[in-house]
Amino acid sequence: MNTEMILKLDKLQPRKDKPAVIGSITLLDIMANGTAIRLFKETVVVFGETSRKRIVMNVRRHSGKGWVAKQVIWPESDLELALLEVNKVAQQEIQRATTLAIA
């Protein structure tokens, strides 16, 4: 694709309003081998709409080039799924560090 076509397509795409966070509650905070795993519930509002709640998992890991971050968002009703994912990520980090220590 050429640049003109990309710019034309970009102009035709309506931009979504970025939601504003009006409240946040930390549900779980884990530090595993230098990796920070945080699960929190936040209330967001988009201009002209009602507020809604969502569950967010934020994972930050230090690598050789700096910090690497991953964020996953679920609707409020999927709290159990979010907890399972946090558990899986924490186990992966512990296993990664154990494998490095053995090698």
Residue 5 lies in a domain: no
Q: What is the pLDDT of residues 18-55, one digit of tens each?
A: 888 999 999 999 988 888 999 999 999 988 778 899 99
- Buried b / exposed e over 35-58, threshold 16 CB at 10 Å, is bbbbbbbbbbeeeeeeeeebbbbe
Handedness of CA 86, 91, 92, 93 (dihedral sign): positive
Which residues form the domain of 43? 17-102
Residue 14 has pLDDT above 90, yes or no: no
- pLDDT higher than threshold 90 for residue 95: no
* Domain-embedded: residue 41: yes
Distance between CA atoms of residues 27 and 21, nearest Å: 16
Q: 85, 55 in Cβ contact below 8 A?
A: no
pLDDT at residue number 93: 85
Fill in the amino acid letter for 62: H
> CA-CA distance, 15 to 13, in Å (whole number)?
6
Domain count, the chain: 1
Which range (27-41, 55-69, 87-101) has the least confidence? 87-101
